[in-house]
Structure 1
Amino acid sequence: IDALIKDELDNHMLRNTRDLIEHIFPDSALPVSVDAVYKQISHLWSSDSCYYATLPRNKWVGCPDLTKQSRKEDVERAFSTFICQLSDQIVAVAGRPCNRCATEEFAPKANPVPGAPHERHPDVLIFDKDAPRTWETVLFPWEIKCNNNNENKRKADAQVVESARIIFEAQDDRRFIPGISVLGFRILLHIVDRAGEICSTEFNMNEEPLSFLRVIIGFMFASKETLGFDSAFSKIEDGTRCITVDGTTYKIVERVYHSHSIRGRGTSCWHATHDGKSYAIKDCWQDISRASTEADLLKRVQGLKGVSKLVAEETVKVQGKDETTYLIRKPVKDPRKRRHMECRLHRRLVLEPFGVPIEWFRTKKELIRGFMDVIRAHKDLLDKAGVIHRDISIHNIMLIEAIEDGDQHRKGLLIDLDYATDYPEPANRQTGMAERTGTLPFMAVDLLSAWGKVHHKPEWDLESLLYVLIWICIFNLGPNNSKKKLQPEETPLKGWFIGEMEIIADTKRGRMVGEDSWEKLLMWFSPYFEELKPCISEWRELFFVSKAPKTHEAVLSILEKTYIRLPDVE
């Protein structure tokens, strides 16, 4: 967990943000006045009918001693009970029910929350009442430590962030994830989103009861939109989930892709339908420092074969404002901190045609044809639209159904222009925060080792396509997305995505240039792809051995020879 935070969120964590709690939970977002609740539940002396007493000392009646070490989850159990009982008292003042509950049931090591890739045991989780309790339904994580020393603060922060990561993985309708660290009697609010993490200043719940009530009312009663859920999602009577984009509601068939990181574009893609027609819907958080948006580029390339068509687009609105990661960070006043904040704009696109990933090829001939189609589309983007892709990966090559001259077959489709830009790139172009763009296992060697402002070369995308084909041959047993039970870390490709970029470049160059190392890599290919080894070796030789120009025509010539030779039916 510490490594996760260091690698992904380092330099993107804002601490001690004043007024963050009031910003996330303003009076207008709460169903009842904090002052009204306080007046109703507080008394001078402790009694059975009160929940906050000022004498003999300020304290929450019914709250366990949070400065004691937990034994067999006794503190977690007592604290979650206290939250639920306090919520019941708020119900009496608010005149509306509380539909959420806090539970410590997953704190024991013997009882992890179902639905995670690895075991996690948050101290307290908040769920909707009567909802099944899995990571798909977790609302918010809270972590409890007996004091606020630096080690406990670090651990609690790491655990909240890890829970947020799992929630982002399991739930596709979350804009940001709020969580709480309980450090003895000191309370800290965390917000995790696609620009990193922002935390409030600590406060003592006994000394500042109004602040604690604001947190409890917010987490237990505020609308889900206030708490980071996306209001574009809904359900119809038969249970089908829907998403509304630019005024049109689409039925979701399935979520077909999502980013596995916290910070960044946070891309999710769905297969959805409207009036019987299939579409791809893409949700992402775009870096506003980029000169052109994906929608701008898609409009420019409309009509080109082998690329997606833009059907609809929108910037997501929250309370009438364009949603950016700056909205949550409004309380940050320090100009030095604001200068380094990453600003991402929440965008949605509706695209057609809907395709299936390239790994669903049915024959080797169809696989090679898909690559040829994508290379032609890449060339047309350059020559006819002045656009260079810059992020070729296994996720950006699809197959679509097509009919040409009465022949029904599948063709390759190049998607995702999120990192695309003008070509040739203007010398004074506005770059994104990341100067080098791409997906690590598939980035070209010279791109990995480049420094400063990088002007992306077309041959680097062609080199990336080579790595995608190698990836398929190693991790797929054969057609129809048949995967090996093999992790990338268990193969020679481990060095293609772990470590500093310059080290990855040296590792990849060594693997591709040396004849012995290349032959050893070929040994990892599944037997099904034996017929493709000469083709892939010739492609590799063009880029790492030969002095010949690395052009689209040269790569297409290599693939064409193999395509003609391969059988139509296997």
Structure 2
Amino acid sequence: MTSSDQTRAEVIRDYPIANGLDAFRSTHRGLLASLQSTSGAAAANLSCEDIQSAILALSSALLALPASRRLPSGRGYIRKDILHLLVAITCDHFDFDRTKSLLEAALDDNSLDSQIWDLVTAAALESTPPRTITSSLQQTPWKHSTGGFANSSEYRKDIDRVLKRELGPLHVGLPGFHDAFFGGVKGLSQAADIVFQRCTSGDTPLFLEGWNGWPENANQDDVLAWLKEIIPKLTAKADDLDLPPAIRRPLAVPKRPIQGSTSERKLDFGFISDPKADENARCHWSQIQIAGELKSNPSADTTAKAWLDIGRYAREVLASQDTRRFVLAFTLCGPLMRIWVFDRLGGISSERFNINEDGRQFVATILGFIQMSEKDLGHDPTIIKEDTQRYIDIERNGKKERIFIQKVIRRARCLAGRATTCWKAYSDLDPATPLVVKDAWQYPERADEGEMLRYVTEKGVVNVARYYYHATVFVDGTVDDVSTNVRHGLNLFGNVSSPLRRTYSASPTESSLLGPGQNRVHRRLILHDCGKPIYEASSRKTLLMAFEQCLEGYESLLNEGILHRDISINNLLISDDERHAFIIDLDLAIKLPRLAASGAKVRAGTRAFMAIGALLGDEHSFMHDLESFFWVLFWICIHYDGPGKDRGPSEFESWNYEKDDILARSKLGTVACEEFFLRMTAEHFSFYYRPLAALVNTLRRMIFPNNQLWKKDNVELCSILKAALLAGQNDLNIL
């Protein structure tokens, strides 16, 4: 007996099925005689629907058994086999004969536990997942992004798995990198020459065949101590030179968490904007201007080690600084230094150099880090700060306006991606009217969200955020895009180093000389309507009213030929006075019919709310969006225990990270059996939202008829869902 077999036998012994299938057997007892019959007539009386219904009920019962979470299988645990089977039985071509032995054993009181579990695994192995639908409407593939997490603890193991995919290929060793990103510092090259010459002269030179005091073993603590000592000496040697004043200082707090992270994060070394900060200061990621990662071994200069670590820090900096367009950083692996830039396409780096062999380059890098302008560090110069106020100047309808920014509403916590940021604002021409400024980095191949929103506003759609202004952002007189503006047109090709290579579409586009998905453009949109997230609705009745009105807004968009495609918890808002609710974010929306994909490489959405069919690669339909409304309400009922009262991460947190097929199985396993669904809502819905369980189950029945994935579009479904939500608002059991 192998160790795996022994473990399996021990789990079956320690966690018996016992009476766990009694309810299933009682309900489906009549099926056993037909399954065991040798009569052709008896077998013919068994329809696929009968077997499917029985398998759904059996799966629900098996998933509730403790052994399902502990029994090992080829997919990890047998629970995943059951979920795989749930997906497979909804396929039109599924062979139900494969499950008859399992049903027969499960219905027989005399069957051994081991026999039942073996047949579960066999049935799952023989089944095949649903075939991806090929459509004339080409699908744009999904991209998994760290900005799409909902109610997540952001543990490092989960973040790293997604961050690797988000970053994609890292372009390393780019010639001309230093000139591109440090060339804007006035007098830097001449100053570096002079300072390095001063370092090599005198009775006790700082540099003599290497830096004086450099620790031979490159131990992190020793290198940190050396950096803290050498950097002030370098800046002191530049005091009399014609350089911009030093506006930041180094900080080393590797053992103290930096504030502002969702989960605890520490930083080896950095340059900070607060000149008074010291080792005892409690620093926030909003103060970190340049992040550094130290490794003692030069061999750590790889994707799996230093590069991913520094990318993780860059994500925190971008998330905490609402005007940051990109982040400079560095890695120091032993004496090998590499300078990085992380932006909304991923990461690029300089050529690697040995600081003990090229001391002049090290001097230029340190002086540049300390004296770079805010713009050269990646801050948005179009958002102007005067005293305590920030504003944007625009020209609208032939008149100049000044849009004053009041506060951040939302900043996506991602590195590469759209990186949407929203601010509450007002115009100097009408201070009493609240506005929302939305910045996002969008693929140039995509339809401009501003143009689409202006179109639907002019058409009079209801319960959708209204258009005010939009523009492409310009920096230094040119379009603020990643390829040309942020990366200064550096040649990336031939310098890709990553085991995770993206697949680019071969379709040509007219909107960019680069291939699809190889550039992002900084676009700005200003909206009339300001609101709060739907989960902050002040009562259960108000929440249902908000969902009803958002559905009405969705229907209004659809009537104008607009398919939203990104219904999620952050895209459904309710006004501050709670008189009306509305939909936002048309970045992924398309006009119907669309004959071909946009050419953009990826679609990004909040995975927890994606429809099962969308996860499986089906052509996106309005039915998928309506299903997403269901998942948003389902999620709120689990994760909130009152208006805006977040309960924190739950066991459903994994929905943020799981692969598409696994997430599809998990979701289908949640809704494919009413008995299991009601048991699950009783266990996981918060006390405050438990009165909505019956209504949510009613919506489940409407969206998943006969406990199955829908087979064809139902044009009446939106109206049916609205009617159910309206009825819920008058249900005394809910109020």
Normalised by the length of structure 1, the TM-score is 0.87
Change (3 A) 1:414 1:126: same
8 Å Cα contact 2:186-2:243 kept in structure 1: no
Task: Tell me if the contact between 1:254 and 1:271 (Cα under 8 Å) persists in the aligned partners.
Answer: yes
Is 1:392 matched up with 2:567? yes
Cα distance 1:563–1:2, how it changes in 2: closer, same or farther (>3 A)? closer
Q: 1:95 to 1:418 in 2, by over 3 A?
A: closer
Pick aligned residue for 1:430 from 598, 608, 628: 598
Which of 543, 551, 554 aligns to 1:375? It is: 551
Conserved in 1, the CA contact under 8 Å of 2:443 and 2:521? yes
Indicate yes or no: 2:141 matched with 1:141.
Answer: no
Query: What residue number does 1:289 align with?
Result: 445
Alignment of 1:536-547 (within 5 A): 536-546=696-706
Partner secondary structure for residue 157 of structure 1: helix
**d(CA) in 2 for partners of 1:97, 1:50:** 25
**Please, which of 450, 458, 470 is the counterpart of residue 634 of structure 2?**
470
Distance 1:152 1:558 in 2: 55
Distance 1:469 1:193 in 2: 34
1:83 equivalent in structure 2: 231
Matched, 1:164 2:314: yes
**TM-fit CA distance, 1:48:** 5.2
Indicate the residue corresponding to 2:219 in structure 1. 70
Partner deviation per Cα, 1:118-145 (whole Å, 9 max, x = no partner): 4433232111243554222111112223
CA distance in 1 between counterparts of 2:376 and 2:243 reads: 20
Quote the residue 2:645 is aligned against. Answer: 482
Conservation of the 8 A alpha-carbon contact between 1:34 and 1:213: no
- Shift of residue 258, structure 1, vs aligned partner: 1.8
The alpha-carbon distance between structure 1 residues 129 and 50, as it changes in their structure 2 partners (threshold 3 A), is farther
Q: Secondary structure at the match of 1:371?
A: helix
- Please report how far the alpha carbon of residue 151 of structure 1 lies from its aligned counterpart in structure 2 after TM superposition: 6.2
Q: Distance in 2 between matches of 1:495 and 1:545?
A: 26
More displaced stretch, 366-375 vs 321-330: 321-330
Alpha-carbon distance in structure 2 between the residues aligned to 1:158 and 1:335: 21
Residues 4-19 of structure 1 mapped to structure 2, 5 A cutoff: 4-10=159-165, 11-19=168-176
Distance across 1 between alignment mates of 2:198 and 2:233 = 17
- Is the 8 Å Cα contact of residues 190 and 197 (structure 1) preserved in structure 2? yes
Deviation at 1:515, TM superposition (A): 1.9
- In structure 1, the partner of 2:617 is 450
In the alignment, what sits opposite 2:476?
319
Paired AA for residue 367 in structure 1: L
What is the aligned residue count?
538
Task: State the distance in 2 between where 1:148 and 1:120 align.
Answer: 23
Q: When you count helix as a share of all residues, which structure comes out higher?
A: 2
What is the CA–CA distance in structure 2 between the aligned matches of 1:2 and 1:359, rounded to whole Å?
Answer: 28
Matches of 1:177 and 1:336, distance apart in 2? 20
In structure 1, distance between residues paired with 2:173 and 2:195: 31
Aligned mates of 2:324, 2:203 — CA distance in 1: 39
3-state SS of 1:181 partner: strand
- Match runs of 1:150-549 below 5 Å: 150=300, 154-237=304-387, 239-244=388-393, 248-274=401-427, 275-290=431-446, 292-302=447-457, 303-327=460-484, 328-329=486-487, 330-334=489-493, 342-383=518-559, 385-400=560-575, 410-424=579-593, 426-434=594-602, 438-450=605-617, 454=619, 456-478=620-642, 480-484=643-647, 486-487=648-649, 490-491=650-651, 493-494=652-653, 496-523=655-682, 524-546=684-706, 549=714
- For 2:480, the aligned partner's letter is E
**RMSD, aligned α-carbons:** 2.7
Pairwise CA distance, 1:216: 2.1
**Gaps (5+ residues) in structure 1?**
403-408
1:472-521 per-position Cα deviation (integer Å, ceiling 9, x unaligned): 1111112x31222x31xx33x34533321111111101111112321122
Distance 1:353 1:149, change over 3 A: same
**Structure 2 residue 717 is matched with structure 1 residue 551:** yes
Counterparts of 1:299 and 1:341 in 2: how far apart (Å)? 25
Q: Which residue number in structure 2 is paired with residue 405 of structure 1? A: none
C-alpha distance in 1, partners of 2:262/2:313? Answer: 12
Shift of the 268–227 alpha-carbon distance from structure 1 to 2, 3 Å rule, reads same
**Which is worse superposed, 325-334 or 175-184?**
325-334
Residues 563 and 622 of structure 2 are in contact (CA less than 8 Å); yes or no, is this contact kept in structure 1? yes
Instruction: Provide the secondary structure at the position in 1 that maps to 2:266.
Output: coil
Cα distance in structure 1, aligned partners of 2:404 and 2:543: 30
> Is the contact between residue 145 and residue 152 of structure 1 (CA under 8 Å) also seen in structure 2?
no
Q: Which amino acid aligns with 1:386?
A: G
Q: Quote the Cα distance in structure 1 between the aligned partners of 2:530 and 2:448.
A: 21
Q: Greater strand percent: which structure?
A: 1
- CA distance in structure 2 between the partners assigned to 1:220 and 1:335 by the alignment: 31
Larger radius of gyration: 2
Q: TM-score, normalised by structure 2?
A: 0.68
Residues 341 and 220 (structure 1 numbering): CA distance in 2 closer, same or farther, change over 3 Å?
Answer: farther
Rounded Cα–Cα distance in structure 2 between residues aligned with 1:177 and 1:66: 28
Residue 116 of structure 1 and its aligned partner are, at CA, apart by 3.1
Using the alignment, how far apart are the partners of 2:604 and 2:258 within structure 1?
A: 36
CA distance in 1, matches of 2:616, 2:214: 55
Query: What are structure 2's unaligned runs of at least 5 residues?
Result: 1-155, 278-282, 497-513
